[in-house]
Amino acid sequence: MLIKKPDDVASSEITDEKTYFNRRSFMKTAAVAAAGVTAYSLFSKKTSLTFAQDDNSWKPANPSKFNTTEALTPYKDVTTYNNFYEFGTDKSDPAENAWRLKTNPWTIEVNGYVKKPATYHLEDFVKPYKLEDRIYRMRCVEGWSMVIPWLGFPLSEIIKRVQPTSKAKFVAFQTLYRPDEMIGQRRDVLQWPYVEGLRLDEAMNPLAILAVGLYGKTLPNQNGAPLRLVVPWKYGFKGIKSIVQIRFVENQPPTTWNLSAPNEYGFYSNVNPTVDHPRWSQARERRIGEFFKRPTLMFNGYGDQVASMYSGMDLRKYF
């Protein structure tokens, strides 16, 4: 397949966040005006990238109409308390180990039942889209939650771009498999590479995004760099990270956690406080940084936007 690449941006020009902070000679640049925040900001040294000085001073440059007004989880917590088994099973492991991951160059293969399959360089994959700051509630199946300001664009834009055929009913995703850098893949705690999937109408919902950053910064490795899925009405493990393949398929695709423990993790994985995990209740959650628990909201509070997709479904059977 053809690898597409813009003429004016070489892959060698891309600077990841780790390099950014380690090179003292790399000067911080001015914030991007809201109207000018595009994907090009992330992948070219010719355009500035908004960098938050601290959590309290950060403001969305290009806010989404879907944003929650709840207090944000501090950047430090968002980037040091993670589930990313490719780098280890402890919450601190990804932040400690993900520096090994090389995200430049990066390609994404799009195939299956689409009229325009292709393998894209990351910058060409993202460049056509204006990025939005999407402030979403995020709920982990383990009972903790965060409010994270993602930087990304609707997954539906990619879907429209590649033009699925009538046979495409689901969208399947695959994470990078590179055990020499993703040291958690050296152990068989899960089946590698990590895979996930959505029904096509779920993938087209405007809440579902592909994220390339958070807090106005380039996405850190431990949070799924350089490209991850964010589906805020589902439990966090549906947000597959470090995506290298998007495939349009006719039948429901396998998903990693469902393969690992089918009685505990269903395909849909919608946040539903009335359906307990076999080993704990999902009725309440603890927001990172808070002491007391709060009630878990159906569909994580996004029912007005997503409940209609599941009308008539038995949400205990299709959990």
pLDDT at position 177, please?
98
pLDDT in tens, 147-169: 999 999 999 999 999 999 999 99
pLDDT confidence tier of residue 313, bands split at 50, 70 and 90: very high
pLDDT at position 57, please?
76
Q: Which amino acid is at 145?
A: S
Res 15 pLDDT > 80 = no
Query: What is the C-alpha separation between 233 and 138, in angstroms, rounded?
Result: 8
pLDDT at position 5, please?
40
pLDDT in tens, 165-190: 999 999 999 999 999 999 999 999 99
Contact present, 285 and 143 (Cβ < 8 Å): yes
Res 10 pLDDT > 50 = no
Q: What is the 3-state secondary structure (H, E, C) of the chain?
A: CCEECCCCCCHHHCCCHHHHHHCCCCCCCCCCCHHHCCCHHHHCCCCCCCCCCCCCCCCCCCECCCCCCCCCCCHHHHHHCCCCHHHCCCCCHHHHHHHHCCCCCCEEEEEECECCCEEEEHHHHHCCCCCEEEEEEEECCCCEEEEEEEEEEEHHHHHHHHCECCCCCEEEEEECCCCCCCHHHHCCCCCCCCEEEEEHHHHHCCCCEEEEEECCEECCHHHCCCCEEECCCEEHHHCCCCEEEEEEECCCCCCHHHHHCCCCCCCCCECCCCCCECCECCCEEEECCCCCCEECCHHHHCHHHHHHHHCCCCCCCCC
Res 102 pLDDT > 90 = yes
218 found inside a domain: yes
pLDDT at position 22, please?
40
pLDDT at position 302, please?
98
pLDDT confidence tier of residue 9, bands split at 50, 70 and 90: very low
Which residues are CB-neighbours of 140 under 8 A, at least 6 positions away?
A: 83, 235, 236, 237
Q: How high does pLDDT run on average in the chain?
A: 87
243 found inside a domain: yes
pLDDT at position 290, please?
95
pLDDT in tens, 232-262: 999 999 999 999 999 999 999 999 999 999 9
CA 181 to each of CA 9, 82, 98, 186, 266: distance values in angstroms, whole numbers, following the listed order: 26, 17, 8, 10, 29
10 found inside a domain: no
Q: Name 214's bridge partners.
A: 150, 217
pLDDT confidence tier of residue 55, bands split at 50, 70 and 90: low
pLDDT at position 230, please?
98
Kindly state the average pLDDT of the residues 293-315.
98
Kindly state the average pLDDT of the residues 269-282.
96
pLDDT in tens, 19-37: 433 433 323 333 333 333 4
Q: Which amino acid is at 101?
A: L
Quick one: which of 263, 273, 259, 228 has its CA closest to 246? 228
2 found inside a domain: no
Query: What is the C-alpha separation between 95 and 247, in angstroms, rounded?
Result: 29
Contact present, 139 and 64 (Cβ < 8 Å): no
CATH number at residue 138: 3.90.420.10
Number of domains in the chain: 1
Percent of the chain with pLDDT over 90: 82
162 found inside a domain: yes
Quick one: which of 140, 154, 161, 160 has its CA closest to 288? 140
Q: Name 3's bridge partners.
A: 119
pLDDT at position 133, please?
97
206 found inside a domain: yes
Q: Which domain holds residue 149?
A: 63-310
pLDDT at position 267, please?
98
pLDDT at position 192, please?
98
pLDDT in tens, 108-137: 999 999 999 999 999 999 999 999 999 999
